[in-house]
């Protein structure tokens, strides 16, 4: 029997690749995102029997409630939540940062993520399902200009592990995936510059959205007695060494 996944942020990058991978593996998917034309293209590509879409901003709790209430019968029994929706805005040092950018990151990466999770938990517990969250190495290794983005991803990483503790004995599997550099629209959204995105990834052979989706697909297919608690991935050309010294004189 086919299982059903709920994937947030499915109009681009890791979310889009995840829907494609899960459908290829025999799943049905509820794909959410803010861009209707991209959701329509996903249905046209994969078929309305495999993908149901819901166009809304994940920060809009009323829209989330409406989307869940209006799921077609065949998509109602959810077995997997992929908490993928998230973003970064700005690269300024904290003392120069735009407070509105900080609020957007908190509202999206933290508040919306926990809201979606809490609303789906009863069903996931009932069906002994799974939760996979897309955190980041930025939640583990700090870099200049990361400030609130890094803090929000540290929250994602640790909230997901905390869920694992709270869901002890329920049969629900919980995983925190913490990627390094993945070439998607992430940097374009963050900076508003395609050139900045191209410059960042040029010549370093970054991971792709499909690489992370393959990891999600592997975890989702594991037997129900096996849990991957957390997994950290980086391209070979990226590492976590980066101590700096500011010298006087």
Specify whether the CB–CB gap between 229 and 164 falls below 8 A: yes
Phi, psi angle pair for 6, to nearest 5°: -110, 115
Q: For this structure, is 149 an active site residue?
A: yes
Tokens found for residue 34 = 């803010």
Phi, psi angle pair for 29, to nearest 5°: -135, 135
**From residue 66, how far is each of 6, 69, 72, 79, 241 by CA, in Å?**
14, 5, 12, 19, 45
Per the residue annotation, which of 141, 143, 149, 201 is the catalytic one?
149
Beta strand pairing call for 80-83 and 4-7: parallel
User: What is the Cα–Cα distance from 219 to 59, expressed in whole angstroms?
Assistant: 27
Helix (H, G, I), strand (E, B) or coil at 175: strand
Burial of 124 (0-12, 13-18, 19+ CB in 10 A): buried
Give ∠ CA 15-16-17 in degrees, rounded to 5.
90
Q: Active-site residues: which are they?
A: 149
């Amino acid at each position: 029997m086919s299982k059903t996944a709920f994937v947030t942020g499915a109009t681009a990058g890791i979310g889009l690749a995840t829907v494609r991978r899960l459908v290829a593996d025999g799943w049905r998917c509820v794909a959410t995102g803010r861009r209707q034309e991209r959701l329509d293209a996903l249905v046209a590509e994969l078929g309305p029997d495999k993908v149901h879409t819901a166009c809304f901003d994940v920060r809009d709790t009323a829209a989330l409630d409406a989307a869940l209430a209006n799921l077609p019968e065949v998509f109602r029994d959810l077995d997997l939540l992929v908490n993928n929706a998230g973003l970064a805005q700005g690269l300024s040092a904290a003392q120069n940062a735009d407070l509105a950018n900080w609020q957007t990151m908190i509202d999206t990466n933290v508040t919306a993520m926990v809201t979606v999770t809490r609303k789906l938990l009863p069903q996931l517990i009932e069906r002994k399902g799974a939760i996979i969250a897309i955190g980041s190495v930025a939640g583990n290794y700090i870099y200049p200009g990361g400030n609130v983005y890094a803090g929000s991803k540290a929250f994602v990483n640790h909230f997901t592990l905390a869920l694992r503790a709270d869901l002890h004995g329920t049969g629900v599997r919980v995983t925190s995936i913490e990627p390094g550099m993945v070439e998607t629209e992430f940097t374009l959204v963050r900076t508003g510059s395609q050139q900045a995105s191209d410059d960042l990834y040029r010549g370093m052979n970054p991971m792709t959205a499909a690489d992370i989706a393959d990891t999600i697909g592997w975890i989702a297919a594991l037997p129900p007695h096996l849990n991957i608690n957390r997994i950290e991935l980086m391209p070979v050309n990226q590492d976590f060494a980066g101590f700096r010294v500011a010298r006087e004189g």
